[in-house]
Structure 1
Amino acid sequence: MWRNYLIVGIRSLAKNRTFALINILGLAIGMAACLLLLIFVRYELSYDAWMPDAERTFQLQQHYTKPTEGPPVLLQMSSYASGPAFKKEFPQVESWAYATRSAPILLRNGQPEPVKDFFLTDANLLDVLRLPMAKGSRAGALSQQNSLVLSEREAARLFPGEDPIGKTLTVVARGTSMDFKVTGVFRDIPRNSHLRIAVIARLNLHSYFAEQPDFLTHWGNQSGWVYARLRPGADADAIRAGFAAFEKRNIPDEDFGGTRTNQGDISDFALVNVRDVHLGAAQQGQITPGNDRRSILTFAVVGLLILGMACVNFVNLSTARASQRAREVALRKVLGADRRQLIVQFLAESTLVAAVAMLLALALVELLLPPVAAFLEADMRVAWFGIGGIALPALVLVLVVGIAGGLYPALVLSRFQPASVLKANKSAADAHGSGTLRNALVIGQFAVSIGLIICTVVIYAQTVYARSVDPGFRREGILQIDGIGRRQLYPQVETIIREVGKVAGVSAVGITSIGLATDNTSNMLVQLPNVAEPAQLGNYTVDYDFFPAMGVDLVAGRLLDRNRPLDSAERAFPPQPEAERAFAARGVNAVVNELAARRLGFTRPADAVGKQIRASLADQAYGLVPVTIVGVVRDARFRSVRTPLEPTLFTNRTVGSNWMIVRFAGRNPAAVRADVEAAWRRIAPDVPFEARFSDEIMGELYAAEDARARIFAGFALLAVIVGCLGLFGLATFTAERRTKEIGIRKVLGARTQDIVRLLVWQFSRPVLVANLLAWPIAWWLMRDWLNGFDARIALGPAPFVAAGLLALLIAVATIGGHALRVARANPIHALRYE
C-alpha cells in the first residue's frame, strides 16, 4: 500500500512539474529560512549554558530604577562593597568574587604592549566562574596573591611554543610595575558568552586602590562585577525577596548638603543567572554587548511566518488544482477506495513533497550558515545528532509541514462524489468555499510580506539615521588616542599635547574622560538652591581645548579658560586632605550641556549662566563643592543612539582624562596618524600608542545593528519570494481553468489589454486588502521597536505607502507576464472542441 502511495505521489509530481517545482522550491526556502533563524535563536539562548554549574552561578547587578529624572539605568555592574555584605547576609551563597577590568601595559622582552580583556580580582574568581582549564588546577590557580591565569589564545600569543606555567609576567598598572606568576591556562571562552576574558590576575585590591578608598567602600561606585555561586538546592527567588531588607540593613545613609541620602533609595539589586545576562534587562555596564530578548523572539516569529507562507502556498496550489484530480478521486472511489485511504494517500504525497523540500533546505542551510555566522560574528554550526542536533527537528518539521500543508487539500479532494464528477462530463473545479479560502490565504501571505517590507524599511531608515544624525559635534576629522590617562604619563601630558599639536594638519588637541563610544560612565548628585531633591548629572573632566577639538559649539556663556584660576579643578593626586579641603571651600567653574541646564530647571541655556549649584566633586568628608556654571554647550551624543543622552557637567582636570582628541584637516588621515604616533613615541616610548579614527569607532558602534538589519532584510526578501511563488502558481492554474472563458472573450471582441487587466485585477485585490491588515500591525511593532532608541526617526506614512506600492508592483510583475502570454493565445486552441 505504501509503495503504491509513493509511486502515485511521484507520478503526480512528474505530471505537474510546475506545481511540483513551485511547491518544493517554496517549501525549501521556507524551511531553510526557518532552520537558519531557529539556529540563530537557539544560539542566542545558549549563552553561557556551556559553563560548568551555570545553573548555580549568578551575577549581582545594581539597577537605578528610581532616578530623580530621566530613564532607568540598569547596570550589570555592582559596587565592591555589596559583595561581602551579600555573602554575609545570605547563607545560600557558597562563594563570591569581584572582578574589575583594567587596561595595563605588559612588558614583553622589554617592549611595552597593551593587554586587552585584562581582569583584576582579589579572590579565586575561578571558584565562582568555573571556566574549563587547559593547564593547571582551577582550585589552586588563583589561590595566591600575584597569581595569573591566561586564556589559551593569550598564552599562545605571549609564550609561543612554550609552557607558560611558572613563567613571570611584568604588568604596569596605575604607574606601578608588578610581577605575576602564571599558574594556569583556561580554555578560550566561546563567543556565546557574556564574558570576554584573556587574563585574570589576583592581587590585593585594598592596596591597589589605596589612593581611592571610595572605590571599595562606597555603595554608589560601580566599576566592576560581582559574581556568586549558590549552594546546591538554594532558592534564588528567596534571595531576591530579601533584597529590600538587605539594602536597609547594609547601605549607610550619607550626608548630602544637609540632606540624608541613601543609595538604596534610588537603586535596587538584581540576582541574574549567568545564562540570562546576555538577554537580560540590564544592558549597561556590560562586559560584552548584549541583545534584546524581544528582537530574538522576533527573528523566531519571522522564521515561522516564512515557513507558514510556504505551507499556505501548498494549500493554495493543492486546492486550486483539485479539478485536475477530481476524476482520479471519483474513479478510485468507484473502484472501492474509501475516504480514509484517499486522505492517507494525499497526506503521503504532501509529506513526500515536504521531504524533498527538506533535503534541499538542509543543503541550503549547510551552504548559507557559514557566511551568515561570519557576518553575525557568531559560532553557529550545524550539528546533526545529539543535543542541539537538527536531524530530529528536521524530521519533525517534515511531518508537521507535510500534515499541516496537506490536511486541508486531502479533506477537500477526498470528499468529491463520483456521481457529480462523472455525469455529463462535469468537473468539481471549484469545491465550495475553496476560492474564498484561497483569497483569504493570499491576503494573509501578502499581509506578512507587506509587514516585513515595512519593518525592513523602518529598520534600514533608523540604521541610516543613527549613522548620519547630527551628534552635536563635528564627527569627521577626529583621531581618538587611548591611554593618555596612564599614571606614568602624568608628568608628560602637557608635552605630548604640545608636540601632537605641532603635527601638520592638526588644528586642536584636547583630552577628556568621556570620549567616543567609551565604556566610562560617571554620575554625581548635585544640589540646587531651594530644592530639596538632588539632581543627577554626568560628571566628566576635560581640558581647555576639548570643546574646539571635538567641535562642540557654545550655546551660552563662555568656555573654560586657562587664564581664570577658578576654571581649574586641578589638585594633587593621590588626594591630599589640605588640597581637597581648599578646593571644596573655594569652589570651581564648570560648563554644562543643554540637557543638564534643563534638568537643573532653566528654561533657556542663558538662564543657567552665572548660577551656582553644589556638587560632590571632592571627597565626601569635605562636603559639597560650590560650582558656578559659566557656559552651556550644545548637547553632544558620544555614544549610541540607543543610549539616552546624558545631562553632563564638565570640569577642567587632567587626572581621570584617559582619551586624547586630535582634530585634523587637509591631510591624508593615515599620514596624520603616523606623524602623531611618531611624536608620541619620542616622548613616551614605554607606553603603547593606541588610536582610532572617529569613522572607525562609529562604524564599530553600529556594526551589530547593521548586521541584524541586513539579516532581517534578507529574510524579508525570502518572504516576498515565497509569496510571489505562490501567487505565480495560482495565476498559472487560474489562467488554465479560465482558458475557454478567455477564448470566448476574445471572440466577442475583448482586447489583449482588457484580458490582462482582468487577470491582474483579480490578484491585485487581495494585495490591496492585505495592506489593511499589515499597516496597523507593522505600525504597532515598529513604534515599540523605535522606542528603544533615544534618537529615532518619525514613524510617518511613507514606509507604509511605499511597502504597499512595492507589494502591488511585485504582484503585478509576477502575474503580468503570464497574463499577457495567456491573453495573446489564439482562441481557436481553447474552443476547437466546442
Structure 2
Amino acid sequence: MWRNYITVGLRALAKNRAYSAINIVGLALGLATCVLILLYVRYETSYDAWLPDADRVFQVQTHYAATPSGGEEMHLQMSGIVVGRTLRKDYPQQVEKLVWVRSFGPIVIQDGQASKIENLRSVDDNLFDIFKVPFVHGSPETALPDSHSITLSESEARRRFGDANPMGRTLTLVENTGPVDYKITGVFKDWPKNSSFSANAVARMDLDTQFADRVSQLTSWTNQQGWNFVKLRSPNDAGLIYSQMPAWEKRNIPDLPSEGRKDNPGDFQDYRLANIRDVHLGQAQDGSITPGNDHLTVLTFAIIALLVLGMACVNFTNLATARASQRAREVALRKVLGASRRQLIMQFLAESILVAAIAMLVALAAVELLLPAFSAFLRADIELHYFGAGGILLPVVVLVLLVGLMAGLYPAFYLSRFEPAKILKANKSSADAQGSGHLRNALVIAQFAVSIGLIICTGIIYAQTVYARTADAGYRRDGLLQIGNLGYRGVEKRDALVVEQIRRVPGVEAAARSQIAVDPGGNSVSSVYREGSTDSVDLGSYAVEYGFFRAMGMNIVAGRDFSEAQSRDDTTTPVPSDPGFPAIARALAQRGANVVITEEASRRLGFRSPQAAIGARLRTELLPSEYGLVPITVVGVVQDARFRSIRDPLQPIVYTAQRDLFSDLLVRFSGSPSLVREAVERVWKRVIPQVPFEGRFADDIVREQYDQEAARGQLFAAFAVLAVVIGCLGLFGLAAFTAERRTKEIGIRKVLGARTRDIVRLLVWQFSRPVLIANLIAWPVAWWLMRSWLNGFDVRIALTPVPFLLAGLLALVIAIVTVAGHAYRVARTSPVIALRYE
C-alpha cells in the first residue's frame, strides 16, 4: 500500500514539474532556515553544559536598583573581593571552593621581547578546581600550585613556543609591583566558545600583594573589579544561601558615614548566586567575561524561523487546494473503484511527507554549505552532527513528519471529500474546485503580514543602528585616536613624556590623558552633596589631564576649562601606598579643589542653567573615607558626552584635573589617519618600547559598540528576504493556476469588449487586495515589537509611519511584479483559443 502511495506521489510530482519545484524550493528554504536557527538556539542554550559539575558552579553577581540620588539600575556579573571571602567564611559547610578572578592586561616579557596576552585572567586560587577543562600538559589538580604560576591555553602556548613543551618555562609579567617571573605549570585545551568564561592564560597571584597600594579594595563592598566563582557541595545549597541573603547583607555590609546621615550600600544592591549555565542568557550582562545574550532574542529568532517554515507550509496548502480541480476526477475514480476516504487521506498525506522529505534533503545540503559562514557571522562554534548525543537525525525526521502533516492535512481532507457523482459529470474534471477560496486568501494575507512585519523590523533596526553610530555624542569622533596601555609600573613616568612627544607630531592638534575614554571598561561613581544639604546625588567621577576637553572636541558651555595656572585645579595625589600620600591627601581635603561638571550633572544637582552652577560649592568623595568629603567648587560646565553605548543612560560627570594615574591617551589630529597613526606609533615605540602600542580610532570603537545591533539587523534582513521569496513563490504558483482556471472567463470578457489592460488590472487586483489587508495586520504588531525594542535605548529614533508605508509599498510592488507576467500573458490570449476549450 505504501509503495503504491509513493509511486502515485512521484508520478504526481513528475506530471506537474512547476508546481513540484515551487513546493520543494519553498519548503527547502523554510526547512533550511528552521534547521539553522534551531542549531543556533541549541548552541545558545548549551553554554557551560559541557562543564563537569556545572550544576554546582555559581557566579556571585551584583544587582543595583535605581537610587533616589540618581544612581542607575545595573546588573553586574562582577562582585567585590570581600563578597566572596565573606560568603566562604559564613557558609563553610556549603562552599566547597571559591576563586576570585579579574581580567588582567600586564606586559608579558618573553626572551626580552614585550607583548600582551589577550584574555589573561588573574586568580587568587586554583581556578581549575572549579572549571575542570581538559589539559594538554599537566592536570587541573596540579595547575597553579602557588602565586607565581601560570597556565596557558593550547593556542597561546603554540603561538609563543611553537610545538615545544612549555612546561617549566618562565614568562615575566610587569605588574603594579614591577616585573615578576611566572613559571608555566600547565597547558589547557582552548576554552569552548559556548562558555561564559574564557581565558588564553590564567595566572595565580597573591591579592594582598596585588592590592598593597589600594588595600581598601580588599574590603570594599562597592568596588567590583572581578568575578567570584563558587563551587557548592550541593546544587540545593544555592537556594539556602539565597533565602538568607537579605539577612546576610544586613549583617555584613557596613554603613558608610556621610556627614549627618548613614548610607548603606546594601540598601540598593543585592547579591545573587547564578548557576554557570544561566549566566550567558541571564539578566546580568554588564561586566561580562564573554558577550552574553538574552532569552528574548533567542526566542525571537526561534519564532521567526517557525514563521518562515509556516509560510512554506502555507504555500503547499494553497497550491494543493488550488490544484484540486486537476485531481478531482482521480479522486472520483478511486472512490468508484472502492477506495475509502481514509485511504485517500493517507495517500495525500504520504505525498505531502514525500515532498517534505525531498525538501529536507535539499535543505540539509544548503545547511552544510551555509553553516560555516553562518557560524562565523555569529562568532560561534556551531557544528552539525547527524548521529550521537548532539545529532540532529531524529529531530530532522520528526520535523519532516510534522511539516508533511501540517502542510498536507487540510488538502488531504479537502480533496478526499469530493463526491464521485458530481465530479464525473461532463467536463467537471476541469471545473472549479469546491469552496470559495477564502482560506487561500487568508493564508496569503498571513504570509505577507509576516513578510511586511519583517521588512518593517529590518528597516527600523537598520535606522536605529545608523543613528547610534552617527548621533552627536558630545565630542568629535572624526580625527580622534585613542591609545590604551598607560600607567604600567616601571614605565609610568614616561607617560607624560610620550604625550609631549606626540603633541609635536605633524597633524596632531591636541593630546591629553584621561581616566575615561570612548567605550570605557569601568565605571566610577561618587556621591556629591550641595552646600548645606545631606542629600547626595550620584555622579560619575573621573580625572583628566589639562587639555582633555580640547583633545576630545568638547565645548565649555559656561565658566572655564581647567588651567595649569590655577593651583586649586590640580587634584594630583600619589597612590595610597606612597609614604607621602597622607600629607598630600590632608592638604587636598583642607583646601578643596575646582571641578568641571557636565550639563546633565548641573541638572541633577538642581541648577536652573549651566551658568547658575558656576561658583557653586559642593562636597564629594575624592579621597578614601577616612579623609572625609572634599569641598569642591564648580568653575566650568562642559557639554554632555556619551562615552558608552546609547543603550546606557547618559552619565552625569564631575571632572577633576590631575597629572598622572591615567588609563587612556586621546589624540586629536587632522590629515591622513593612517599617516598620523603610524607617526604616533613610532613615537610610542621610541619612548616606551616595553609597552605594546594599542591605538584605535574613535569611529572604529563606536562602530564596534553596535556590532550586535548591526548583526541583528542583518539577520532580520535575511529573514525578510526569505519570507518575501517564499511568499512570492506561493503567489507565483497561485497566479499561474488561477490564470489557467479563468481562461474561459477571460475569453468571454474579451469577446464582450474588455481590453488587455482591463484583464491585467482585474487579475492583479485579485492578488494585490490580500497584500493590502496584510498591512493592517503587520503594522500594529511591528509597531508594538519595535517600540519595545527601541525602549531599550536611552536615545532612539522616532517611530514614524515612513518605514511602515515603505514596507507595505515594497510588498505590494513585489506582489504585482510576481503576478503581472501571468496576467499579461493570459490577457493577450486570443478569445478563440480560450472559448474552443468549451
C-alpha distance in 2, partners of 1:129/1:195?
Answer: 9
Equivalent residue letter for 1:390: I
| CA displacement at 1:70 relative to structure 2 | 5.4
Matching of residue 85 in structure 1 with residue 86 in structure 2? yes
Task: Give yes or no for contact 2:55–2:235 (8 Å, CA) kept in 1.
Answer: no
| Residue 45, structure 1, aligned to residue 45, structure 2 | yes
SS at match of 2:632: strand
Partner of 1:7: 7
Residue range with higher mean Cα deviation, 209-218 or 42-51: 42-51
Q: Where does residue 142 of structure 1 map in the other structure?
A: 144
Give 1:688 shift. 2.1
Q: Is the 8 A contact 1:444 1:770 kept in 2?
A: yes
Asked if 1:370 corresponds to 2:386, the answer is no
The amino acid that maps onto 1:37 is I
Q: In structure 2, what residue type is equivalent to 1:59? A: Q
Q: Tell me if structure 2 keeps the 8 A contact 1:513–1:540.
A: yes
- Match of 1:711, as an amino acid? L
Number of the residue aligned with 1:635: 640
Q: Distance in 1 between matches of 2:294 and 2:644?
A: 18
| Counterpart amino acid of residue 268 in structure 2 | I
In 1, distance between residues paired with 2:249 and 2:66?
Answer: 15
Q: How does 1:123-272 map to 2 (within 5 A)?
A: 123-272=125-274
Mean Cα deviation higher: 409-418 or 606-615: 606-615
Opposite residue 521 of structure 2, the aligned amino acid is D
Q: For residues 794 and 754 of structure 1, do their structure 2 counterparts lie closer, same or farther at Cα, with a shift above 3 Å needed?
A: same
CA–CA separation in structure 1 for the residues paired with 2:491 and 2:837: 98
Q: Distance in 1 between matches of 2:237 and 2:426?
A: 76
797, 812, 817: which one pairs with 1:808? 812
Q: Is the 8 A contact 2:487 2:662 kept in 1?
A: yes
Q: Name the structure 2 match of 1:409.
A: 411
Separation in 1, partners of 2:440, 2:425? 27
Structure 2 vs 1, CA of residues 530 and 776 (structure 1 numbering), >3 Å: closer, same or farther? Answer: farther
Report the CA distance between 1:332 and its aligned residue.
0.3
Structure 2 partner of 1:792? 796
- C-alpha deviation, 1:387, in angstroms: 2.2
Q: Is the 8 A contact 1:257 1:527 kept in 2?
A: no
- Residue aligned with 2:229, SS: strand
Partner of 1:529: 531
Q: TM-score, normalised by structure 2?
A: 0.97
Which residue of structure 1 aligns with residue 391 of structure 2? 389
CA RMSD, Structure 1 to Structure 2 (Å)? 1.5
Structure 1 residues 182, 411: CA separation in 2 closer, same or farther (over 3 Å shift)?
A: same
Equivalent of residue 307 in structure 2, options 293, 305, 308:
305
SS at match of 1:330: helix
Q: Secondary structure at the match of 1:140?
A: coil
Q: Offset at 1:701?
A: 2.2
Secondary structure (helix, strand or coil) at the match of 1:740 reads helix
**By how many angstroms is 1:392 displaced?**
1.3
1:544-623 matched pairs, under 5 angstroms: 544-574=546-576, 576-623=581-628
CA contact (8 A) 1:376 1:704 kept: no
Give distance in 1, aligned partners of 2:66 and 2:299.
28
What SS does the corresponding residue of 1:782 show, helix, strand or coil?
helix
C-alpha distance after superposition, 1:402-424 (max 9, x if no partner) = 01110000000011111111124
Q: Provide the C-alpha distance between the structure 1 equivalents of 2:786 and 2:456, rounded to a whole number of angstroms.
A: 9
- SS of residue paired to 1:212: helix
Structure 1 contact 214–221 (Cα < 8 Å) conserved: no
1:153-204 Cα distance to aligned partner (Å, 9 max, x none)? 1111222222111112111111511111111111101222222211111121
Structure 1: tracts of 5 or more residues without a match: none
User: How far did 1:233 drift?
Assistant: 4.3
8 Å CA contact retained: 1:573, 1:655 = no
Q: Distance in 1 between matches of 2:513 and 2:431?
A: 79
Q: CA deviation at 1:632?
A: 1.2
Q: 1:318: which partner in 2?
A: 320
Q: Tell me, yes or no, if the aligned pair for 1:243 and 1:269 is still in contact at 8 Å.
A: yes
Q: Secondary structure of 1:213's partner?
A: helix
Query: What is the CA distance between 1:295 and its match in structure 2?
Result: 1.3
Q: Which segment is superposed worse, 333-342 or 235-244?
A: 235-244
Could you tell me how far 1:532 is from its partner in structure 2?
3.6
| 1:373-452 equivalences in 2 (<5 Å) | 373-426=375-428, 433=435, 435-452=437-454
How far 1:549 moved relative to its partner? 0.5
Alignment match, 1:749: 753
| TM-score with structure 1 setting the length | 0.98
Match of 1:705 in 2: 709
1:298-330: CA deviations, max 9, x gaps?
Answer: 111110000000000111110111111111101
Deviates more, 1:804-813 or 1:647-656: 647-656
Q: How many residues in Structure 1 have an aligned counterpart in Structure 2? A: 833
Q: Which amino acid aligns with 2:245?
A: F
Match of residue 23 from structure 2: 23
**Secondary structure of the corresponding residue to residue 256 of structure 2:** strand
Q: Could you tell me which residue of structure 1 aligns to residue 695 of structure 2?
A: 691
For 1:659-702, what per-residue CA distance to the aligned partner results, in whole angstroms no more than 9, with x for missing partners? 10111102x22221222122222222222222112222223222
Q: Letter of the aligned partner of 1:287 in structure 2? A: I
Q: Which residue of 2 aligns with 1:75?
A: 76
Q: Which moved more, 1:62-71 or 1:594-603?
A: 62-71
* Larger CA deviation: 70-79 vs 497-506: 70-79
For the structure 1 residues 644 and 430, does the alpha-carbon distance in structure 2 shift closer, same or farther, using more than 3 Å as the test? farther
After superposing the two structures, state which structure 1 stretch, 224-233 or 85-94, moved more.
85-94
Contact 1:482 1:658 in 2 (8 A): yes
Partner of 1:459: 461
1:726-754, CA deviations, whole angstroms, 9 ceiling, x for partnerless residues?
11111111111111000110111100100
Aligned residue for 2:81, secondary structure, equals coil
Please tell me the residue identity of whatever aligns with 1:43: Y
- Displacement of 1:3 in angstroms is 1.1
Name the % identity.
Answer: 56
Determine helix, strand or coil for the equivalent of 2:60. strand
CA, structure 1 residues 258+158, in 2 after alignment: closer, same or farther (shift >3 Å)? farther
* Residue 283 of structure 1, CA deviation: 1.5
Structure 2: distance between partners of 1:561 and 1:488: 29
Corresponding position: 1:663 with 2:665: no
Q: Aligned letter for 1:25?
A: V
Which of 277, 281, 284 does residue 283 from structure 2 map onto?
281
Helix, strand or coil at the partner of 2:490: helix
Which secondary structure state, in structure 2, belongs to the residue aligned with residue 769 of structure 1? helix
**Deviation by residue 1:544-585 (Cα, 9 ceiling, x = unmatched):** 111100111111111111110111110222452221111112
1:432 Cα deviation from its structure 2 partner: 5.1
Q: How far apart in 2 are the matches of 1:272 and 1:140?
A: 28
How many Å apart are 1:610 and its aligned residue? 1.3
Distance 1:714 1:833 in 2: 45
Consecutive unaligned residues in structure 2, runs of 5 or more: none
Query: Counterpart in 2 of 1:352?
Result: 354
Partner of 1:673: 677
Picking from 102, 105, 115, the partner of 2:104 is 102
Which amino acid counterpart does residue 29 of structure 1 have in structure 2?
Answer: L
Give the residue type in structure 2 aligned to 1:658: S
Aligned to 2:826: 822
Assess if the C-alpha contact under 8 Å between 1:66 and 1:267 holds in 2: no
Provide the rounded CA distance (Å) in 2 between the counterparts of 1:92 and 1:604.
55
